[in-house]
């Protein structure tokens, strides 16, 4: 029995072409699936980010309304960056390391020079919006 080498070569080339075409179609399907997945993920993240922003805005409005009802405002301690609720009505607030505060409407007042305050260290706190 003898094999025709041209027939075997032609058969092998045909099989290689079929396999390569199948692999190329598979790669195209995988790329299309990946692109569809990434587009779906982008849409999900965009919607999720928009929802989070809306919730954050709602939370801020709620916080402001509750603070208004309680006659409070929020200040940020310059020492540790922590936020505190203080009684509203002053132009500036000074805080110590224990979270205590001194309100003042006098721009030249410095509680660090006030002997009635036990020579504590007071730092001006920022009023938040």
pLDDT digits (tens, 9 = 90+) for 53-95: 999 999 999 998 999 999 999 999 887 888 989 999 899 999 9
d(CA 119, CA 129): 30
- Residue 60 and residue 106 in contact, taking contact as beta carbons nearer than 8 Å: no
pLDDT digits (tens, 9 = 90+) for 7-46: 999 999 999 999 999 999 999 999 999 999 999 999 999 9
Q: What is the pLDDT of residue 120?
A: 83
Q: Where are the domains of the chain?
A: 1-70, 71-129
> Which residues are bridge partners to 101 per DSSP?
95
Cα 64 to Cα 11, 74, 85, 90, 94, distances in angstroms: 79, 9, 11, 17, 21
């Amino acid at each position: 029995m003898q094999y025709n080498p041209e027939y075997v070569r032609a058969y092998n080339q045909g099989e290689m072409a079929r396999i390569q075409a199948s692999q190329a179609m598979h790669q195209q399907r995988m790329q299309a699936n990946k692109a569809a997945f990434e587009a779906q993920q982008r849409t999900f993240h965009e919607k999720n980010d928009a929802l989070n922003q809306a919730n954050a805005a709602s939370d801020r409005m709620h916080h402001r309304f509750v603070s208004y009802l309680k006659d409070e405002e929020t200040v940020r301690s310059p020492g540790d960056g922590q936020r505190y609720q203080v009684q509203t009505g002053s132009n500036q607030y000074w805080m110590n390391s224990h979270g205590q505060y001194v309100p003042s409407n006098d721009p030249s007042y410095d509680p660090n020079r006030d002997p009635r305050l036990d020579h504590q260290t007071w730092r001006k706190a920022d009023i938040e919006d």
